[in-house]
Structure 1
């Protein structure tokens, strides 16, 4: 994805290319699914190159859409997890004022129109995200139906959600991004360092009980945008899986505003995070010691097995 889009944050040590991916796909005798949310950021020319490179395969475009009330906080938080520095208010204001057009690249409408125009209408599919409280398998069932995965082919195990961080936890990460300066300038080293050793094992397991939301002052803005998006999709020739009405927010209850977040709450979260890091370090140390012990045992057995048996 990063190679196809030629993004400036691509890790210079990365070896995979789009052409390499296509070469591997051509060797596969059956259907191939290529998926990455970053593909939404491709330009029209990059999307055209991607679809053309897959010829003469029968290319389908599958997009998942969800309501903006959930999308906006999720996209901002994901941007912070990817090294961004801006606050939630700065993020929202930039979108309102048209200064962050790239946000729309990762929404169903922009993705479907940019990529869908490259294939016939019967090969364009939009799957709507079920509302909160729906059975966990609904989204999978919709996707499986589109790509032709029959019942019983895949074993549906325990569902693992991608938990959102709470307001003080994500604010702590945002401030850390500022403090990192020019360290971790590329995405993969950042993910290997910060996500692997801080976000995933520690921050995701913190309290995260102080949820945040867009705010009542932007409720009507969200509702107006929603109706525009639904009308655009109804008018676009494509296969709709689910119901476009599900793009309307089902629950617009408010969470904490970042204006209400105190320095004390951020400091308490920072201290809890340090404690969590100490526990994580102890756990890693135990795993290393166990690995060393297991390796030493295997080596001793191998040496015993190869030593010649002495004569009496």
Structure 2
């Protein structure tokens, strides 16, 4: 039976990719120290989709939430489960998740980021998840109180109320995302301190993240989503085709120089929302790691939006993207004949590693 289970549930675009990269790249080191990351990042993602019964999930995947919880329960030390999509679970789904991990001591970890950066990040993530609405339409919906999905899935307080209320106050943890310019490893150290990972145990590679696309690139993707119609309606096929061949291989590789954001005309409104958010979190009983002042926007600059782009600008980006995709296609066609053999060898090595880990676990139990 696990001693403690740390559930890192989100929100998206709060440095979760960086934290998860450190965790997974040090998976064996952590396991040797008595901290288990069960299976793989893909398993956590599949289990999240199963728990939420998301309409875009693939129903024939191996990893369900119950399977992941069962694996966590076989460990005698601490367990970490991390997926930023968990925060969007309903109260009923969150209750099921926490109960499935008991009698282990369950901890809930939520990350919060200032709204000035969160609004455009949320919209971009929705486009990269196959949405087709314009940025202006999204911001208008927020202003009119018609964007409950944003508040439910991307703000710390809503997540804490659904998940944190299920555990004692001392097991609720809010990590504030440091402001621009802060040392990147500061966020890692905040997470590591909660999860009991000693300083120096994990190797911190050059920080990586889930880079944002520029205004032209994300607008191009939005229009591609609309043109796809009913093609690739499920998450995995969309990721395997659109993300692999367009987003990851081409759009992310561009300079993405034309940034976009909320706009100074909404700065006062965003600041008022931030002050309200800070006040509500001050009143919520939880452990704050960082400083709630970091949820107050800074360096608010005037920017345009993807809606401002004209067709000639997008045409040029589309042509350059097609050229990039041709190069990507050529690189795939030039893979050596032994590519499949190399893939098979990697899978074989992973399987052997899994056997070794199970043997070590069995030895520990016998001791």
Q: With structure 2 as the length reference, what TM-score do the two structures score?
A: 0.78
Match of 1:223 among 271, 274, 292: 271
Q: Retained in 2: the 8 A contact 1:69–1:222?
A: yes
Q: How far is the alpha carbon of 1:70 from its aligned partner?
A: 0.6
- What displacement does 1:31 show? 1.0
- Give the alignment's Cα RMSD to 1 decimal: 1.6
Q: Distance in 2 between matches of 1:84 and 1:101?
A: 16
| 1:133 and 2:202 correspond | no
CA distance in 2 between counterparts of 1:119 and 1:293 reads 48
2:89 aligned residue? 42
Q: In the comparison of the two structures, how many residue pairs are matched?
A: 295
The separation in 2 between residues aligned to 1:65 and 1:293, in whole angstroms, is 44
SS class of match (1:174): helix
- The corresponding residue for 2:202 is 154
SS at match of 2:232: coil
Displacement of 1:217 after TM fit? 2.1
The aligned residue for residue 77 of structure 1 is 124
Deviation of the 1:216 alpha carbon: 1.8
| Paired residues for 1:238-277 under 5 Å | 238-277=286-325
Structure 1 residue aligned with 2:111: 64
> How much does 1:85 deviate?
0.8
Q: CA deviation at 1:14?
A: 2.2
Give 1:123's aligned residue.
Answer: 171
1:96 Cα offset (Å): 1.7
Q: Distance in 2 between matches of 1:30 and 1:246?
A: 33
Which residue pairs with 1:168 in the alignment?
A: 216
- For residues 12 and 47 of structure 1, the distance between their equivalents in structure 2, rounded to whole angstroms, comes to 20
Query: Would the aligned equivalents of 1:47 and 1:114 in 2 still touch at CA under 8 Å?
Result: yes
SS of 1:59's partner is strand
Name the SS for the 1:32 alignment partner: strand
- The answer (yes or no) to whether the contact 1:60–1:123 under 8 Å persists in 2 is yes
Structure with bigger strand share is: 2
Structure 1: any 5+ residue segments left out of the alignment? 296-312
Structure 2 Cα separation of the partners of residues 121 and 291 of structure 1 = 51
CA contact (8 A) 2:218 2:306 kept: no
Match of 1:177 in 2: 225
> Which deviates further from its counterpart, 52-61 or 252-261?
252-261
Q: Give the TM-score normalised by structure 1.
A: 0.91
The Cα of 1:288 is off from its aligned counterpart by 3.8
C-alpha separation in 1, matches of 2:66 and 2:342: 41
Q: CA deviation at 1:84?
A: 0.6
Q: Which position in structure 1 is the counterpart of 2:71?
A: 24
Deviation, 1:292, is 7.6
Correspondence for 1:103 among 118, 126, 150:
150
Q: Unaligned 5+ residue runs, structure 2? A: 1-47, 344-367
Moved more, 114-123 or 253-262: 253-262
